[in-house]
Amino acid sequence: MKFFAFLKDWSLPISMLTGAAAYFIYTSIPQLDSTHAAANTIISYLQPGLIFAMLFVSFCKIRFSELRLEKWHFVLLAFQLLTFISFALVAAYVPLSPSMHVLAESFMLCLVCPTATAAAVITARLGGSAASLLTYTITINFAVALVAPFFLTLAHPVEGMDFLSSFLLILSKIFPLLLCPLITASLVRRFAPRLHDFLVKKCRNLPFYLWLVALSLAIALTVKSIVHSDISVYVQIGIAIVSLICCIVQFAFGRYIGRKYGDTITGGQSLGQKNTVFAIWLAYTFLTPVTSIAGGFYSIWHNIVNTWQLYRKNHEKK
């Protein structure tokens, strides 16, 4: 029983360590070098597949009628967009050294990155409102698609990338994986009620277990991004510190605003837990590619926070 209690308390760090160890073991075996391309292809399909399944089961518990904008959504939205715009203006108009410009872009990336699609799973696990978090997730994703293209290209101009093409590119990246599970869950509720009841009653913990597998893959990709980065150790440390500051500030501010409106957990997760895979893609597409490791480091920090929160939640029940 103690062993299972240990696994329950430390499931997230175990998953993270498994992903990191798997990457190093896999890349250290020369005989497997020829399989790297195939492995990358498999992961590119497996990861979104896991996220889709995880969200689909989670969204079976949510009805469209529960998705309502609340006052605290607008407060977090304003905080996230205004802080991002502020650092974008600094990167665009303040003379900075190349290293400082990378750090400014890292701030931008960690602040503009929308809420993780998987945040609903952790929020529900912590006792927050998955429906309220999903409402904010949809809102911030659309806001990022609308606001980010202009300020990203202002801070780091990309040849041949105008506002409309950037807007559509971001929409195509974030919305299918967010809306398709929600629509599928609604269709199952309407046309396959027995399957819906089974998923809701018998598979309550399945999204969390799927998230652990997806997290291992995400950490493996994070480690790959950091290992293959060609920037100096000092800049990497600077980016790690920037991402840590952003993580702490956003969790703290989200919880502060959430507490004022009676939903501390959901507020914190809405602002603090990020779609870091999207952040890495955003860096490669619109910013200096080395800033992608900011998303990688942020993934480590926000999962450490989630581990601490889940540990507290588990021990509150005892």
Q: pLDDT digit string (tens) for 108-155?
A: 999 999 998 778 888 988 889 988 998 999 899 889 988 988 898 888
Q: Which residues contact 122 (CB under 8 A, 6 or more apart)?
A: 211, 269, 273, 306, 309, 310
Closest of 141, 114, 102, 113 to residue 242, by C-alpha: 102
Q: Which of the four pLDDT bands, split at 50, 70 and 90, describes residue 25?
A: very high
- Rounded CA Rg of the chain: 19
Higher pLDDT, 152 or 316: 152
Instruction: Give the Cβ contact number of residue 213 at 10 Å.
Output: 17
What are the DSSP E strand ranges found in the chain? none
| pTM to 2 decimal places | 0.84
Q: Is 148 helix (H, G, I), strand (E, B) or coil?
A: helix
The first and second tokens of residue 145, run together, are 């698609």
| pLDDT the model gives residue 315 | 77
Instruction: Give the Cβ contact number of residue 143 at 10 Å.
Output: 16
The average pLDDT across 7-22 equals 84
| pLDDT the model gives residue 224 | 83
Please tell me the distance from the alpha carbon of residue 111 to that of residue 306, in angstroms, as a whole number: 18
Instruction: Give the Cβ contact number of residue 226 at 10 Å.
Output: 17
Is the pLDDT reported for residue 5 higher than 70? Answer: no
Q: Which of the four pLDDT bands, split at 50, 70 and 90, describes residue 239?
A: very high
Q: Which of the four pLDDT bands, split at 50, 70 and 90, describes residue 98?
A: confident
Q: pLDDT digit string (tens) for 165-224?
A: 888 888 887 777 778 888 898 899 889 989 988 888 888 778 888 888 888 888 888 788
Please tell me the distance from the alpha carbon of residue 172 to that of residue 197, in angstroms, as a whole number: 31
Is the pLDDT reported for residue 318 higher than 60? Answer: no
The letter for the amino acid at 97 is: S
Is the pLDDT reported for residue 50 higher than 70? Answer: yes
Is the pLDDT reported for residue 6 higher than 70? Answer: no
Q: Which of the four pLDDT bands, split at 50, 70 and 90, describes residue 1?
A: low
Q: pLDDT digit string (tens) for 244-303?
A: 999 999 999 999 999 999 999 999 999 999 988 888 888 888 888 888 889 889 988 998
Please tell me the distance from the alpha carbon of residue 122 to that of residue 308, in angstroms, as a whole number: 12
